[in-house]
Amino acid sequence: MSGTSRPLSSRSIFPQAEVIGDLGPTLKLLADRLEGRLPNAKALIYLRQGILARIADRELEARFTPQRIVRAVMPTDGILALDNGMYKIWFARNYRTHVANTLLLDNALATMGAGLPSAMMASMLYPTRRVMAVCGDGGFMMNSQELETAVRLRLNLVILLIKDDAYGMIRWKQAIDRFTDFGMTFGNPDFVKYAEA
């Protein structure tokens, strides 16, 4: 890859080669070719150990965290599908998986409303595995009508709903940039009655 000497925020990077293939074997081949050639590569080992130690410490916290709820009910091969919100950042940083493809999150465009349909598809593909969607109320309400589809198809999934009556992440970002808090809060239905219906 090449770039210019401009600051990273304004620098454009143009790829010089395209690699197409399965990510796992491709990374292993690249790692084998780079072994011993990267200066200060051993520093990454300590960085990784620190990250894993921090995650392990968070597992034992006495305070409420989404991870405590999820860990209590999800087996290691259970599939967790995240919608988008502040909690997604927490999961991306602190939720350690032990089986490949058991944490589904869309990170590029951070599409709100992706959690429920992702969980539905995971349940269709893996009907014997436990599937959970973690959704904020804003993202959930973008396509919550698909609960009818989930019931009709008899999908085996659970929804953990995080309710703050707001588009919480957007509201937080606006506050950081000192924008007026406008149009970010909303009313919600009674979710228990909604689920029962």
Residue 18 domain flag: no
Please give the residue range of the domain that contains residue 124. Answer: 64-196
Residue 182 domain flag: yes
Residue 41 domain flag: yes
Domain count, the chain: 2
Kindly give the confidence (pLDDT) of every residue in the chain, 197 residues in length, as a single tens digit, with 9 standing for 90 and above.
444 444 555 567 777 878 788 888 988 888 888 888 878 778 888 888 888 888 777 777 777 777 777 888 899 999 999 998 888 888 888 888 889 999 998 876 678 899 999 999 999 999 999 999 999 999 999 999 999 999 999 999 999 999 999 998 889 888 999 999 888 999 999 999 998 88
b/e map 122-149, b = 16+ CB within 10 Å: bbeebeebbbbbbbbbbbbbbbbebbee
Q: Is the pTM of this model over 0.85?
A: no
Rounded CA gap, 184 and 165, in Å?
Answer: 9
Note whether 114 and 170 are same-domain residues: yes
Residue 147 domain flag: yes
Note whether 121 and 36 are same-domain residues: no
